[in-house]
Amino acid sequence: MKAPRSPAGDDSAHPDVPASRRRPRRAWRKRGQAHRHLAQLHEVGQLLCASEGVAASFPALVDRLSRWLPVRVALLLEGVDASGVPVPERPCLMAWHSSVGMESPPSQAVAHAASAYAYLVGLERVTLQGRDVIEGVFKAEPARVPGVVTLPLVAKEGVLGVLHVESVGLGEDGLVLLDAVANLLAVALPKEHVLRREVRRRERAEALFFQAQEAVRWRDELLTVVSHDIKTPLLAVRMNAEMILNAGTAPEKEHRRRRYLENIVLAEQQMSSLIGNLLDRARLRGMPIPLTLQPLPVDALLAQSLEVLRPLALEKGQVLTVAQAPELPPVLADRERILQVLANLVSNAIKFTPPGGVIEVRARLVEGAKVCVFVKDSGPGIPAEDAPHLFERFWRASHSPGRGTGLGLSIAWSLVAAHGGTLNVESHEGQGSTFSFTLPVALP
């Protein structure tokens, strides 16, 4: 009569069963467990390879583990920063927990994991970083809590971090599986760290490349603006010098020579100020230039700008006038910048107005506590199709005389905007053009 089989199907419970029959069954069970572990580790490896990183795959990885093992809390502490640089004293925390409705893992579990991490990496104390961290400094202490397993993630570089798991009823097979998962993490983390460092190096290289491109752009802009705006005062210097030579040495013309010399000095001051301001702008790399705002009388401002440019109008036989307005309140503006705006607008008017034409500069008070300055010419006017492009950088009309750079009106528009004002134009073909810009009134 055959001996009855044990409930578990294990013949080892019956002493009458020969040992030669018991060993194959035990080996078969171990082989089945090994196959299951290999399949589970294959899933874990695929998950780590398919994701964008360990941080992205960790919740899904522990979800898989929780199907196979009674895991309640799992914490991964990684001793590197976001760029892959080792910072063992400030490990990054990644957390998973099975409690429904709980947004963060238990603080006690985090404290145990941090203390065990410090103990395993050989530090006296550590602080945590990450989304689920708790504030504080954690001293090194080995984990001696029932149901808690802390496994170091060891690579060639040393201890990279720890895998901290809280579980209930974890058997020997579960410990073997956890140890294998920790080994896979220890292989995946160094590769991810290298990738992070490479990404950061490329980002820095790209940032340096863009900075170099920006520096080149600002150099080119500096050269173009200087070459444009310095032409007007240089031309004024030449014209005044020629008038001094033509005036001769007669004593009755001494006052003219003195006025021409004063104009040359003013033009030189404008050039020096222009170059200095543009160099400041180049150093600031695109940041707005701080304006030296001060109350300025409008009449004096207009008279000074026109005095330097008057010889250019006289050379073309033009009439350049300024309408006095002593009743206007002073404006709050940067003197050199507004002189630059007026120089661009008036020199443009002189350029486009034919010989014998009239150019008038005047100012009046407008609504909103602002003073509006007008530069009116009797030139040919601006075609309607060109008007929308007047203030664009480097734009020039196809019929424009001379070889301008297309920067003057763009620069003037930017400087007026920096003062909080607006630059506008009103023009009709055959009836001349009027450019106007506003400046704020200086409050008493």
- DSSP assignments along 315-337, one per residue: HTT-EEEE---TTSPPEEE-HHH
Crossing angle of the two packed helices 231-247 and 335-352, in degrees rounded to 10: 70
Q: CA 41 → CA 31, 38, 83, 177, distances in Å?
A: 15, 5, 28, 8
Strand, coil or helix: 77: strand
DSSP letter string, 380-404: ----TTTGGGTTSTT---TT--S--
Please give the structure tokens belonging to residue 271: 């050039």
Q: How far, CA to CA in Å, does 116 sit from each of 61, 74, 99, 102, 372?
A: 22, 14, 23, 24, 74
Which residue is associated with the tokens 């104390």?
125
Mean pLDDT of 391-395: 64
416 or 263: which carries more pLDDT confidence?
416
CB 419 within 8 A of CB 337: yes
pLDDT in tens, 313-354: 888 889 988 887 778 899 999 988 898 889 889 988 888 898
200-257 residue pLDDT tens? 889 889 988 888 887 777 667 666 666 666 766 777 777 777 777 776 666 666 777 7
Q: What is the pLDDT of residue 295?
A: 93
Exposed/middle/buried for residue 103 (C-beta within 10 Å: 0-12, 13-18, 19+): exposed
435 in Cβ contact with 352 (< 8 Å)? no
Q: Around Cβ 230, how many Cβ atoms within 10 Å?
A: 16
CA atoms of 65 and 178, how far apart (whole Å): 9
Residue 161 token pair: 């971090």
pLDDT at 399: 53
Q: Which two tokens stand for residue 204?
A: 């820095």
Comparing 86-95, 225-234, 364-373, the range with the smallest average pLDDT is: 225-234
Of the chain, the percentage scoring pLDDT greater than 90 comes to 13
Residues 166/62, Cβ–Cβ less than 8 Å: no
Q: Report the pLDDT averaged over residues 386-394.
A: 71
Q: In this structure, how many other beta carbons lie within 10 angstroms of the beta carbon of residue 148? A: 17
Q: Residue 17: pLDDT above 60?
A: no
Q: CA angle at residue 373 from 371 to 377, to 5 degrees? A: 160
Q: Which residues pair with 101 in a beta bridge?
A: none
Q: Which of 67, 47, 66 has its CA nearest to residue 55? A: 47
Q: What is the predicted pLDDT for the residue at 194?
A: 85
Cα gap 290→285, rounded to integer Å: 13
Distances (CA, A) of 339 to 143, 296, 361, 408: 76, 12, 13, 13
Mean pLDDT calculated for residue range 141-145: 79
Q: Does residue 196 contact residue 57 with C-beta atoms inside 8 Å?
A: no
The predicted pLDDT at position 8 comes to 45
Question: What's the mean pLDDT in 425-444?
Answer: 89
Q: What is the pLDDT, as a whole number, of residue 375? A: 93
pLDDT digits over 255-301, tens only? 777 777 777 776 776 676 666 656 555 554 455 667 889 999 998 88
Residue 382's alpha-carbon distances to 328, 379, 412, in angstroms, are 30, 9, 18
Residue 13 has pLDDT above 60, yes or no: no
Would you state the pLDDT for residue 249?
Answer: 67
Report the DSSP pairing between strands 148-155 and 125-126: unpaired
For residues 406 and 395, the answer to whether their CB atoms sit within 8 Å is yes
Q: Is the pLDDT of residue 196 over 90?
A: no
For residue 440, pLDDT beyond 70? yes
Extract long-range pairs of 249-252: CB within 8 Å, 24+ residues apart. none
DSSP SS3 for 28: helix
Lowest-confidence segment of 61-70, 142-151, 227-236 by average pLDDT: 227-236
Domains and CATH numbers, the chain: 25-138+145-202 (3.30.450.40), 209-284 (1.10.287.130), 294-440 (3.30.565.10)
> Average pLDDT of 399-407?
51
DSSP, res 107: H
Residue identified by tokens 């029932």 is: 146
In degrees, to the nearest 5, what angle opens at C-alpha 213 toward C-alphas 211 and 219? 100
Place of tokens 């580790």: 41
**105 near 97, Cβ under 8 Å?**
yes
User: pLDDT category, 405, cuts 50, 70, 90?
Assistant: very low
**What does the alpha-carbon distance between residue 136 and residue 138 come to, in Å, rounded to a whole number?**
6
The answer to whether 414 and 428 are in contact (CB under 8 A) is no
The most distant pair of C-alpha atoms in the chain lies apart, rounded to whole Å, by 151
Average pLDDT, the chain: 79
Average pLDDT score over residue span 18-35: 64
Question: Residues in the chain, how many?
Answer: 444
